[in-house]
Chains A and B, each alone.
Chain A
Amino acid sequence: MKRRDVIGAAVGLASVAWMRSAAANADELAAAIKRFADGAPVTEGRVEFDVAPLVENGNTVPVTVRVQSAMSESDHVKAIAIFNESNPQRDVANFFLGPRAGRATVSTRIRLATSQRLVAVAKMSDGSCWSHSVDVLVTLAACVES
């Protein structure tokens, strides 16, 4: 068994260098959302955030974000951002849409270092921002190689 297998197995969890207080993370999360919203208030709603409440492995977590919108020239989703609370950094992914998207639905797979809150924020063509947050429990493979 190679040592790299031992060490490589747990993504991010082996290193404690990035562990910070929960309060600091929550502040950073709020700041990241504020930056994305560009000064506009962020209202809870219009955004669906599909992610399993209990995740078997934090390495690959499927997520889908859906925003209610006509996606017309005059009324559409310009961008969708996903943020987290307890990973080493708050950003996860930002998606840029527009009327040519047809539907404001994006899917990807993300990494979660630990159980935490996720927030999806949608920025509309009129500048308004909408969000939804979910709490996700992350378990690990019990029979770990390390």
Chain B
Amino acid sequence: MTARNQRGRQKDKETRDARTLLLLSPCLLVLLSLLATSDARASDDTRDEAVLAAEARRIETIERISRPTIAIFDANGQGGGSGVVISADGYALTNFHVAAPTGPAMKCGLADGRLVDAVVVGFDPGGDVALIKLLAPDKTAEGNSQRAGSSPTPAAPSHDFPAAELGDSDTVRVGDWAYVVGNPFLLADDFQPTVTYGIISGVHRYQYPAGTLLEYADCIQTDAAINPGNSGGPLFDADGRLIGINGRGSFEKRGRVNVGVGYAISINQIKRFLGLLKSGRIVDHASLGATVTSDPDGRVVIDDILEDSDAFRRGLRYDDEIVRFGDRDIRAVNAFKNVLGTYPGGWRVPITYRRDGQEYQARVRLANFHRAGELEALLQSQQGPPNPDRPPRRGGPRRGPPDEPQPPDGPRRRGGPEPRRGGRPSRRGRGQAELPVAVKPFYEERSGYANYWFNRYHQQRVWNAYLARGDFADAGWNWKIRGQLAAGGDVEIELSQNEGAIVMPQGRSEAEFGLSLAQETSPPRSGGLLAALHLWQRLLLVGPSRFGETHYVGTLPWTSEVDLADCLAATYGGVATHFFFDPQSGHIVGIEMQAADDQDPCELYLSQFREINGRFMPHRWVIRRGDELFADLRITALEWATATAEKE
């Protein structure tokens, strides 16, 4: 509401029956008299142009940021919270603790009054983030024919959802103005969101998780009012750019209402997870494989490290001091946790550590925080999201009780049924039969996934894009590859269905491609180059659907932290291999095969694609293992049984 509207309305009230006024509480009288004073001031012609310009800017911004903000309810229109649309095709962000209790289908109210169906896409329970997708009602008929099971194709994209502009939360500073938009107390019957504004009270805040879930690392603290129902809604900067997702407040003895402290998950953290959430998976957070503590001198040092972790293989040891992690200097344990908490498992993060006065640098691959299946089991056992009202007590008695981090969960409407707090029926139990017609075509239940439909869709998308670059289905297993090492020397590789051999200046190595590839690490020091080439061949020949157990991981950094690559994980012969696809060209630009858990994987960096008989193949292969370059290979000839390759 603008200032002038406010005054206008108050004036209207003043002209009403005086008796009504007398019945009003004295405080309103005070308000009226004060506003009358301000009216007198406003009618003065000395109004500051800058004030009016700022007001106009604020009104424009509020209109702009209200449009992508949505109110979220479950399929029956109950419970809920807030969310924000981030792309015109309907992807929207909210909290895990908002989306998880609704089940796979939900209803979203837009600021323009529309109520549309939405489906869950991906969960990040550790970071309290969920990705959902709004489904345009007029497009669902087309979606109906695309049942999961057959080859799914994208729902005809409807590019009419108002989307928020993503900001850069690392540039947010204390004292900046900020807007919170959402549906506090579920006030918005017409879905017109409520706007509160305030300043950024703190950045890089760390708020402890509940168990291992709902950790708010590197979060943004604001004094803009965040109340129950604001959960999952957007935090915007003064220019209306999305800088965070609100989800938590410090509530203590004054009841579950805002007391000036709300927390938002930073948008930069979410940007790293976004490409993974689109996979339909339940995405895990990261572990370094080591824990840190602060020593009496205030240094952050490793106090425990797993010997089979990448951190250990990269050289980190007990009592090493962490100097830098990610792009931050580390001077406190919270700073370390802030960096770690913003990365998904699988990312490689630069780390600088100090030992005996000497600094060392490494890039460490972060492991998943939970063991395989542990996260799913955790969610299953809790029958829904963890109860955020009872976080674990942490810290010694001297620190006093930590504040009660209670995500402002959506209250129910007055007179509504009891909310399903902490006791929702299992997802399995709901059954797809209950799903709304609009949602049904876009949801597929599978253990370990928030919505397998999206995983299947992206597997197909990535593979179809690759096929446009060359179909190897009839290329056969017998390949001959010749190349030259950048360091000098010829290389010859021969592959067949059951074995492979490589001749390098240092000698000849062979590998057998039996049922298990787990120990096929030849040639020595390569981490299993021959096995990796066999698995690459296998993917090209049989495709992901017949390769073995295959899933789409999402987007991960490969050669660039900025331009992420699509990643397919494929397991065969007891070995998990990651294939990285360039989203622009569709080429396979990387292969990472880990022959054994406690060993560094063999990494192939593929580039310089040229066409050979209608099929694109990379002509530069850089093979790395751990910190070492195994080979930088320039391919001079590629032959397969059915066709002969070019010669340079």
Our verdict on whether A and B bind, yes or no, reads no
| B-to-A contact residues, CB < 8 Å | none
